[in-house]
Structure 1
């Protein structure tokens, strides 16, 4: 099995080489091993996927639940893992930064911290506090014995603040505060991706959830994206298939969905191929 230091080196190299790479989001050991067997080079956890797996109607998860999921996924394969740490599960900079240390101790070699407060009435941290939170997270990330790649997320576009100028201002400030990777979920067009990339000097993560599904990884690479994630989309896709099969059984008495099942032999092969060496 690869050491955490080896995974960290691999992860940093992915951000330094030309072009873009896809970092899909498993939500448990099985899906992590399937993605590893499919040939992906890195994985990212998804707090939404964790919440979906726990049946949480409000999509909320605790820090302990996220770290436990991170530990399981990091141990599941030889791939580097980036942890979705939401807002660090705390408001004060030093308290939020604790999540960075915990993720590293769980085996992750990267992680993200966002500027969303979790309060619908006041959804985004004030600028100065948001920057201080990234600075504290970066200080922890860069002091760890194994290098940890910190991603800073500007969440304006997900919370009704469609202010691209402020989003870019925040990303630039997070860059200066020590973030290694930048991320602004909610971008909808390649034009917007290009606008953000042109304004920053760090690798940029694009999440596909708000983009036209016909936009390809090659299109995003050409626009300047470095890392492409899918958030909770794979979890939602799997649950859509599950819900469709359940409706067919309940409403039609139909089991035709069984024609689309993956063969047990294929599952066993992928689980074995994706497991740590």
Structure 2
């Protein structure tokens, strides 16, 4: 597992501007295989996509079902898989780490808000440090920064949180919902790898986001929603 995490970590290093790591988000085993067959070197499971596939609202998936879904996806492919674990499901850091490793994942997203409210950044950084201590180098930690998502438009607030999380041991920070034109500022302030969200057809391309400072680009549940739209069209034709 450590080797898998190191392979995944290595994919984030030395990225040229305009060439970010592009990580599509599978929501089940079939979609994971499609993305692997398309040639992507790694995958990043979105919690919202898994929730929809299991019949839950976003944020309502029971922890046991989420870890089971992660395990099914990991088992279906041979590339490294990271998973969005929302706010950690209330699990202690050691249990969170062991359950994720038991599911076969090499990394995770961890959010810094709960029930729509931002957590205290210093307390969250301490918790991330505990997760890092429990995981060692066995997991790639992507710390989500929810300021923009929660209506805080000041980029300095995002930079402050990102810097705390990197200092706590995060491998990457994810200012979800950040405007593309702020990515250079956020990348410089975070002093490390940066994850940008892209909605296909609505946001700049991964290459453009990479040129602005994104180390990696993920899509949340948007690829699943595209697939759902295509299925609706097929159903209508039937």
TM-score, structure 2 as length reference: 0.91
By how many angstroms is 1:72 displaced?
1.0
Q: Residue 33 of structure 1 corresponds to which residue in structure 2?
A: 33
Which one has the largest radius of gyration? Answer: 1
Number of residue equivalences:
235
Structural mapping, 1:62-81, within 5 Å: 62-81=62-81
Q: 1:131 aligns with which of 125, 129, 132?
A: 125
Runs of 4 or more, structure 1, over 4 Å off, are: none
The residue number in structure 2 matching 1:181 is: 172
Cα RMSD of the aligned pairs, angstroms, is: 1.9
Q: 2:7 aligned to 1, 7, 10, which one? A: 10
Superposed CA deviations along residues 97-140 of structure 1, whole A, max 9, x for unmatched, are: 532321112111111111111x24xx111122221221111111
CA distance in 1, matches of 2:201, 2:43: 23
Identify unmatched segments of 5+ residues in structure 2.
Answer: none
Cα offsets for 1:62-101 (capped at 9, x unmatched):
21111111111111111001111100011xxx72553232
- 1:54 pairs with 2:44: no
CA distance in 2: counterparts of 1:229 and 1:162, whole angstroms: 21
On the 8 A contact 1:32/1:77 being kept in 2, the answer is yes
- In terms of fraction of residues, the more strand-rich structure is 2
Q: Is the 8 A contact 2:52 2:58 kept in 1?
A: no
Q: Deviations over 1:24-71 (max 9, x none)?
A: 100111110110000000001111111111222455212111111111
3-state SS of 1:16 partner: coil
Determine whether 1:240 maps to 2:229: yes
How far apart, in 1, do the equivalents of 2:185 and 2:54 lie? 37
The answer to whether the Cα contact below 8 Å between 1:88 and 1:98 also exists between their aligned partners in 2 is no
* Contact 1:87–1:96, Cα closer than 8 Å, also in 2: no
The whole-number CA distance in structure 2 between the counterparts of 1:23 and 1:198 is 22
Aligned residue for 2:108, secondary structure, equals strand
Does residue 42 of the first structure (1) align with residue 36 of the second (2)?
A: no
Matched, 1:196 2:190: no
Distance in 2 (alpha carbons) for counterparts of 1:53 and 1:204? 28
Distance 2:179 2:94 in 1: 30
SS at match of 1:22: strand
Q: Which runs of 5+ in 1 are unaligned?
A: 249-253, 256-277
Q: How do 1:144-223 residues align onto structure 2 when only pairs under 5 Å count?
A: 147-189=138-180, 191-209=181-199, 213=202, 215-223=204-212
Q: 1:212 to 1:192 in 2, by over 3 A?
A: farther
TM-score (ref. length: structure 1): 0.79
8 A contact 2:2–2:139 mirrored in 1:
no
Following superposition, the deviation at residue 198 of structure 1 comes to 1.2
Q: Provide closer, same or farther for how the CA distance between residues 234 and 97 of structure 1 changes in structure 2, counting only shifts above 3 A.
A: farther
Distance 2:187 2:107 in 1: 21
